[in-house]
Amino acid sequence: MKKYSMRMLTILGVVLAGLLGLTQPAQSASTTATPTLDKTLPNGLRVLVYEDRRAPTALHMVWLKAGSMDEVTGKTGLAHVLEHMMFKGTKTLGPGEFSRRVAALGGRENAFTSKEYTAYFQQVHRDALFEVMALEADRMQNLVISDEEFAKEIKVVMEERRLRTDDSPSGLAYEALMAQAFLASPVRAPIIGWMSDLESLTAQDARDWYAQWYAPNNATVIVAGDVQAQAVFDKVVALYGAWPTKALPIARPQREPEQTGARHVRVSAPAENPFFIKAWKAPTWTAADGPMTPSNEKARDIVALSVLSTLFDNQDFGRLTKRLVRDSRRALSVGLDADGISRGPGLITLQVTPAPQVPMADIEREFVAELAMLVSQGLPAQELDIIRRQAKATEVYRLDSLFSRAMEAGRLVTAGRPLQDSADWLVMLEAIQAEDLKRVALKYFNDSQSTMVELVPLSLDQASRPRRGFGSNSLRH
């Protein structure tokens, strides 16, 4: 799984909403696209509230603009480790008491860490909202990290790394891809951390991370559901108003040097099938890029790459899916995805599992042939209209889910982007033409800017333990 683009973010929200039971009957998008309340406390804490009366539930989230890309060499995985420690007690609550109290309220809760942020959430009946808000505010300000609890939990994180990466062929491949594609940028390090770093992390490292990054001027509270916006804001003021602003660490640029040639690496692991991931450097939409308008060439490129991804890998009409998976059956699976909003550099990534006995080089040629066809023949208006209609439908589904709506808001805020981007994305989509797709195909699919990771399968009996699951770019507690 790759870094979340706008397209992938929507899918994630819909999937998680389904798992958590947060999807509700549709209502007018005009009443749900913008927050009912958007205010910032004097200490810098931002508060977003989305009133939604369709069910007596409330979703509460706290987002911190601190992820793995903010770590330093030798201490990778620290953001995720701290996320684990947030469940281990405060000055007034013992280890595990937070989760027990949420469960006793009939609620659901979890947390996740990405390269760019750490977020915590609870979903409860509306009557229990203020209680979980108080619990969250307590651990945001009064966390206790004991040496004993840290020593136990770091072993849990190490095992999580074994499960998600060391025991996962795709996890190993993705980790190798990021480490090869980027030389200077901190996005090259895995979110879970390198095992040697996990082995050397200390409880004091976690305390320092908490002290540095967990601050009101680095956090956003998001509440959505059957709530009164002003009452929620008043509660936030009461819970967080005395939380002192902190001087946050100064981020170094760590700009990625220009890539001057194709990179290719092989990874061997016990697996049933070979596969490859090939990635090209791609633009991302950052806080410094101005408004998302059709006249902004970078914005146009990012949306065009998203459209190109849909054109190629959509399960129903994607050109690569049809050509490689359904018609010729030369591939078992194919996916193309572009990074979108990010504080760091991005990639557009092709992932393919060839059918047995089909050389990877043949699949690469098929992909190049599809790109060449797009450049030479253009894109029929009918195909572009289908993509636009699908994107609009997806936006309606996004607005229909409390969780995906809050996820998108948190993602935009922590990337330094305005919430208006959500609506502007569809405006941009209408502006994209076939010429834009041809331009980005020529501009970004440059082999000298590519990195390829090839998974060479070993016999499954060479595995030290069963190989399970897939790597992920967002780690949940």
pLDDT tens digits, 266-293:
999 999 999 999 999 999 999 999 999 9
Residue 475 binned pLDDT confidence (cut-offs 50, 70, 90): low
In order of 24, 38, 410, 467, the CA distances from 27 in angstroms are 9, 21, 22, 44
pLDDT in tens, 375-420: 999 999 999 999 888 887 877 787 788 999 999 999 999 999 999 9
pLDDT of 19 above 80: no
- The pLDDT, as a whole number, for residue 50 is 97
pLDDT digits (tens, 9 = 90+) for 160-170: 999 999 999 99
- pLDDT of 252 > 90? The answer is no
Domain 6-25+33-240 -> CATH class:
alpha beta
Q: Tell me: pLDDT of 204 over 50.
A: yes
Question: Cβ neighbours of residue 312 under 8 Å, at least 6 residues apart?
Answer: 318, 319, 320, 321, 334, 336, 370
Superfamily of domain 263-462: Metalloenzyme, LuxS/M16 peptidase-like (3.30.830.10)
pTM of the complete model = 0.89
Do 401 and 3 meet the contact criterion of CB atoms below 8 Å apart? Answer: no
Average pLDDT, the chain: 89
Backbone angles phi, psi at 320, to 5 degrees: -70, -40
* pLDDT band at residue 455 under the 50/70/90 scheme: very high
- Rounded to 5 degrees, φ, ψ at 234 are -60, -40
Average pLDDT over residues 291-308: 94
> pLDDT above 70 covers what percent of the chain?
90
DSSP per position, 77-136: THHHHHHHHTTS-BSSS-TTHHHHHHHHTT-EEEEEE-SS-EEEEEEEEGGGHHHHHHHH
Query: Which of 22-36, 171-185, 282-296 shows the lowest per-residue confidence on average (mean pLDDT)?
Result: 22-36
Share of the chain above pLDDT 90, in %: 80
Residue 444: pLDDT above 90? yes
Sequence ranges of the chain with CATH classification 3.30.830.10 = 6-25+33-240, 263-462
CA 32 from chain center: how many Å? 22
Please report the pLDDT score of residue 339 as a whole number: 84
Give the C-alpha separation, 358 to 361, whole Å.
9
pLDDT exceeds cutoff 70 at 31: no
**What pLDDT score was predicted for residue 463?**
55
Per-residue model confidence as pLDDT tens digits over 307-347: 999 999 988 889 999 999 999 999 999 999 998 889 999 99
Please give the sequence-ordered ranges of beta strands (E in DSSP) within 114-242, or none if there are none.
118-125, 219-225
| Model confidence band, residue 476 (pLDDT cutoffs 50, 70, 90) | low
467 pLDDT higher than 80? no
